[in-house]
A and B are shown apart, each in its own frame.
Chain A
Amino acid sequence: MLVADNITKKFSGVTALDRVCLELHEGKVNAILGENGAGKSTLMKILSGVDNDYEGQIVWHAKPTRFQNTKEAQQAGIAIIHQELNLIPYLSITENIFLGQEILTKWGTLHKRRMRDQATVLLQKLRLDIDPATPVQELKVGQQQLVEIAKALLLEPKVIIMDEPTSAITDQEVETLFGIIEELRADNKTIVYISHKLDELFRIADRYIVLRDGKSIESGNIQGMTHDQLIQKMVGREIFIPPPKIILNNQENVLEINGLSLKKPNHKESFILSDISFHLKKGEVLGIFGLMGAGRTELLETIFGLHPTRATGQMYLNGEALHLKSSVEAVRAGLALVPEDRKRDGIVPGMTVSQNISLASLGEQVEKNGFLSNQAESQLAEKYIQELGVKTSSSQQLIKNLSGGNQQKVILGKWLATHPKVLLLDEPTRGIDIHAKSEIYKLILKLAASGLGIIMVSSELPEIFAVSDRVLVLAEGKLTLEMLTQNATEDILLKAAIPKVLQN
């Protein structure tokens, strides 16, 4: 029904898509696979009319077509749900669904009743039992995603493109989403499903289309394919999977946490984290697993001194009591935090690789007699670019031009330059492609081997198993399990992570 024929797209000389061909099968879930930078998003932008400057052609129902803008694509019946949600937080569900598609009365005013009724029908269809007058900001991320889908369904599309729809929602919400996708398929809608998570694809997709380096590699039925076969098509080479490590010598504790609690803002009595105690040894990678909302990120933030007024409990670094009131003190004490959202909290996009690396250690490493030394700075940058294998044209390249994996390495370099005692990693491989992932894993293991204590929060079990020596599980702000990773199984960890209320 929808065929892309030799699509080529160039950005100022760089080829993003190179004669890509693909065919969507009607009434099926078509999965698009590929590493970051393989061209998935670019292709989807062309299919949905966001981008109309390309070579080649799109054939829509046997007719060559070129969508000039999203409106034309929508009218033809193609809807896209972007990875980042595009809802307006202060407006209600109804207002968001009908944004740009408002129904008017004959007086030219908003026909609120009819919009509300239609919104109610759509929400019922998506099994979202919420008053459509609720402001979107009060919804959970998964519910917001459903509102996006409702918004797309309003136009009665034939093709629905979903770009990484599960990247920010809980497992339960994923189940709901899959149920809805199956219903849509039963309605003979064509779904284009973009995701990194292969396990999901095996569950939900009928067909796969692999893109690699801007080329279409292969497509076919997903049945009969194995996990490893798909990965190999995506990456085009064998992947290094770090060997499980079985060292746990009697190193001393570098960090001890005792009875750590964190209050919710503005709620005196309820807690995000309650009574958490654990220790971290030198050279150890401690994995922290938990579902969304378990308090994983908050735990790292609290250790890093970001919530001084709401936190209670004791913390000892190399046996000395610490009372951190800010990130300034945390860094000075020898802690380092690689945040979950690299773009928002990690990189300074307009600065060079070199400036990002030196940012946390200017005073110690770069400043000479009150002035910054260019020479010292570039030496520092080169050292960590080499050591971590950052792929960049030079240390003077802007960090925003690097891939996610390389940006992450620069952030790691920034912290290593401060010679930290404890490294806190929050979802260190989020949004990073498979190949770069294994490089980051190798680095984590190498850093631990050099004696650094590492705490790694992750929502991906394979990641926990790949690098951690010991694992803690959080559920609803409480520590529910602590064990050596070699003794753990996915089952045990998942059971400990699911809140008690849900288990019944």
Chain B
Amino acid sequence: MQTTIDSQKKLLSKLQPLIALFVLCMVIGLLSDKFFTVSNFWNVLRQISVNICISTGMTLVVLMAGIDLSVGSVLALSGAVTAGLYKSGIEFPTQNLFVGFTLLGGILAGIVVGGLLGFFNGVAITRFKVPPFVATLAMLTVARGLTMLWTQGFPISGLGKDFAFLGTGWFLGVPVPVWISALVVVLAILLSNKTKIGRYIYAIGGNENAARLSGININRVKVIVYTLAGVLAAVGGLMVTSRLDSAQPNAGTGYELDSIAAVVIGGTSLSGGKGSIGGTVLGAIIIGVLNNGLVLLNVSPFWQQVVKGLVILIAVVIDKANTKNH
């Protein structure tokens, strides 16, 4: 009897974000006749794909009670590296050597750069015991600086139709970025629920001491997860660069906040151990729909920020109230 009530309560608190999303959609739909249209539907999904990609990595990090503030800068550098290499290759004047890149080569290079930066985050946090907040804050600055150096502060534009497919193309009636983020989400759900490393992520966030004493290689798990977060930020960078047909040196500024917001609204605890990828996807959708709705309703961008901030606050307050009852 007691357990059925408990599980009903649990189910209800799990459904809360879904109910919130539903109510939000209804309200916006009532106020604007442009909201419930097919084109707007794909529009919203395409817009949030980048955030979903980044937030998936962020969720894994936050589940371990970590944080990654560098995702926005990593996104910018990866995008710029891909764009630069694909467009004009790289020259080594001393060796009198020029290396050109195919599209795939450029993409891989961008992803490797994202992974490397994430790997450095992981090493700083595990090997040198720098708190994640500080390590990734440093990376935020370093990667942004490297982006400026690489681009000389100018956008790298004119990347061609093939590359544009990633961000603007359609496949089987669905925008390509939506396919990419859906694939990322499915893989991440598999990773977090069905694999050893996923379980270790939850264990580390739930009680790092107990996880270590259980013989789990904590440092390895952490390095892998931060590397993954870097890779996913790079994937986001590819989509952004492709959609704009241009790698902007200041791309991705503030994206870490949107992604942390998605994670938190999705019910993942910043102290680790509790949460899910699915929740984060919902969180990202809620933020996306809110953004879209506020634009459709002609709310000034300044008020949009205020509303977004309040939504995050309310989401956390509700979440706290829920956990208190358990």
- Distance between Cα atoms of A348 and B209 in the complex (Å): 9
A374–chain B nearest beta-carbon distance, Å:
9
**Distance to closest chain B CB from A322 (angstroms):** 14
- Complex Cα spacing A326 to B218, Å: 11
Output the nearest chain A residue to B325 by Cβ-Cβ distance: A12
Are B273 and A359 interface neighbours, CB within 8 A?
no
- How many whole Å from A98's CB to the nearest CB in chain B? 32
Question: Is there an interface contact between B215 and A351, defined as CB atoms closer than 8 Å?
Answer: no
For the complex formed, measure the closest distance between the CB of B49 and the CB atoms of chain A, giving whole angstroms.
Answer: 26
Of all chain B residues, the one with the shortest Cβ separation from A304 is B213
Q: Which A residues are in CB contact (< 8 Å) with B215? A: 327-328, 330-332, 360, 418
Q: Which residues of B contact A107 (CB under 8 A)?
A: none
Determine if B196 and A363 form an interchain contact, defined as CB atoms under 8 angstroms apart: yes
**Cβ of A250 under 8 Å from chain B:** no
Contact residue among A328, A350, A351 (Cβ-Cβ distance under 8 Å from B216): A328
Contact string against A for B residues 28-41, beta-carbon threshold 8 Å, 1 for contact and 0 otherwise: 00000000000000
The reply on A451 being an interface residue by CB < 8 A is: no
Which of under 10, 10 to 19, 20 to 34, or 35 or more describes the interface residues of A?
20 to 34
Q: Chain A contacts of B203 at CB under 8 A?
A: 348, 351, 355, 359
A371 vs B194: C-alpha distance in the bound complex, in angstroms?
5
Instruction: Tell me whether B212 and A327 are in contact (CB under 8 A).
Output: yes
Closest chain B CB from A356 CB (angstroms): 8
Contact between chains at A359 and B196 (CB < 8 Å): no
Give CA–CA (A282, B164) in the complex, Å.
68
By the criterion CB–CB under 8 Å, are B3 and A393 in contact?
yes
For window 427-467 of A, CB contacts with B under 8 Å fall at none
Is the pair A359, B195 in contact by a Cβ cutoff of 8 Å? no
Which A359-388 residues sit within 8 Å CB-CB of chain B?
A: 359-360, 362-363, 366-367, 370-372
Are A359 and B211 in touch, CB under 8 angstroms?
Answer: yes
Across-interface contacts of B274 in A (CB, < 8 A): 350
| Chain B contacts for A347, CB-based, 8 A | 207, 210
Contact A348 B195, beta carbon cutoff 8 Å: no
Check if A372 sits within 8 Å of B199, measured CB to CB.
Answer: yes
- Measured in the bound complex, the distance between the Cα atoms of B209 and A337 in whole Å is 12
Whole-angstrom distance from the CB of A354 to the nearest CB of chain B?
A: 11
Q: Does any Cβ of A come within 8 Å of B217's Cβ?
A: yes
* A348/B273 contact (C-beta < 8 A), A362-B196, A367-B196, A370-B195 known: yes
Against A, the Cβ 8 Å flags (1 = close, 0 = not) of B136-151 are 0000000000000000
Of A49-57, A81-89, A233-241, A338-346, the one with at least 4 CB within 8 A of chain B: A338-346
Tell me the B253-284 residues at the A interface (CB within 8 Å): 273-274
Residues of A with C-beta under 8 A to B200: 362
Contact with A along B186-228 (1 / 0, CB 8 A): 0000100111101110110011011111111100000000000
A393 to B2, CA, bound (A): 11
Whether A414 and B199, one on each chain, are in contact in the complex, defined by CB atoms closer than 8 angstroms, is no
Type the 1/0 row for A10-30, where 1 means its CB is closer than 8 Å to any CB of B: 000110000000000000000
Bound-state Cα–Cα, A57 to B2, Å: 28
A14→B1 CA distance, assembly (Å): 12
The answer on a CB contact under 8 Å between A355 and B209 is no
Q: Is A349 an interface residue (CB 8 A)?
A: yes
Interface contact A345-B216, CB-CB below 8 Å: no
Chain A residue numbers with a CB within 8 Å of B3 are 393
Docked CA distance A488–B278 (Å): 60
For the complex, give the distance between the alpha carbons of A314 and B215 in Å: 21
Contact A339 B214 (CB under 8 A): no
Chain A residue nearest to B206 (CB atoms) is: A348
- With known contacts A327-B215, A328-B215, A348–B196 Cβ distance under 8 A: no
For A348, the closest partner residue in chain B by CB is B206
Q: Is the CB of A348 within 8 A of B194?
A: no
Which listed residue (A328, A350, A393, A418) contacts B273, Cβ 8 A? A350
Task: Say yes or no: A372-B195 contact (C-beta < 8 A), given A13-B2, A351-B202, A351-B206.
Answer: yes
Q: Which residues of A contact B2 (CB under 8 A)?
A: 13-14
Q: Is the CB of B199 within 8 A of A362?
A: yes
Contact of A414 among B198, B206, B209, B214 (CB under 8 A): B214
CA distance A287 to B195 in the complex (A): 39
A349 touches B206 (CB 8 A): yes
* Complex alpha-carbon distance, A360 and B217, angstroms: 11
Which residue of chain A lies nearest to B193 when distances are taken between CB atoms in the complex? Answer: A372
Closest Cβ of chain A: how far from B76's Cβ, in Å? 34
Chain A residues closer than 8 Å to B212, beta-carbon distance: 327
Report yes or no: B207 in contact with A337, Cβ–Cβ below 8 A.
Answer: no
Question: Which chain A residue has the least Cβ–Cβ distance from B204?
Answer: A348
Closest B residue to A347 by beta carbon equals B210
| Given known A327-B213, A332-B215, contact A349–B199 (CB-CB < 8 A) | no
On chain B, the residues within 8 Å of A355 by CB distance are: 199, 202-203
Q: Which residues of B contact A327 (CB under 8 A)?
A: 212-215
Return chain A residues, CB-CB under 8 Å to B273: 348, 350-351
CA distance A344 to B211 in the complex (A): 11
A348 x B210 contact (CB < 8 A): yes
Residue among A328, A355, A359, A372 having the largest count of chain B Cβ atoms under 10 Å: A359
A373 nearest CB neighbor, chain B only:
B194
Cβ contact within 8 Å between B195 and A371: yes
Chain B nearest Cβ from A499, distance in angstroms: 29
Q: How far is the CB of B196 from chain A (nearest CB, A)?
A: 5
Q: Separation in Å of the B134 CB from the closest CB of chain A?
A: 21
Q: Chain B residues near A326: list those with CB within 8 A.
A: 217
Task: Decide: A337 near B202, CB < 8 A? Known: A348-B273, A350-B273, A372-B195.
Answer: no
Asked, given contacts A344-B209, A393-B3, whether A359 binds B194 with beta carbons under 8 Å apart, the answer is no
A366–B198 Cα distance when bound, in Å, is 13
B210 contacts which chain A residues (CB < 8 A)?
A: 345-348, 359
* Nearest-neighbor residue (CB-CB) of A329 within chain B: B215
| Residues of B contacting A337 in the complex (Cβ-Cβ under 8 angstroms) | 213
Q: What's the Cα separation between A330 and B216 when bound, in Å? A: 11
Which residues of chain B are near A418, meaning CB under 8 Å? 215
Q: Are A359 and B209 within 8 A (Cβ)?
A: no
B154 to chain A, nearest CB (A): 45
In the assembled complex, the Cα of A304 lies from the Cα of B274 at a distance in Å of: 29
Nearest A residue to B212 via CB reads: A327
Among B193, B207, B212: residue with most chain A CB under 10 A: B207
- Establish whether residues A348 and B213, one from each chain, have CB atoms under 8 Å apart when the complex forms: no
Could you tell me the distance between the alpha carbons of A326 and B196 in the complex, rounded to whole angstroms? 20
- In the A-B complex, the 5 residue pairs with the smallest Cβ-Cβ separation, listed nearest first, are A331-B215, A348-B206, A360-B214, A345-B209, A348-B207
Instruction: List 11 other contacts, CB 8 Å, given A327-B215, A360-B215, A371-B190.
Output: A337-B213, A339-B209, A348-B202, A351-B203, A355-B202, A359-B199, A359-B216, A367-B195, A370-B195, A372-B193, A372-B194
What are 14 A-B pairs with beta-carbon distances under 8 A?
A345-B210, A346-B210, A347-B210, A348-B206, A348-B211, A355-B199, A359-B199, A359-B203, A362-B199, A370-B195, A371-B190, A371-B195, A372-B194, A414-B214
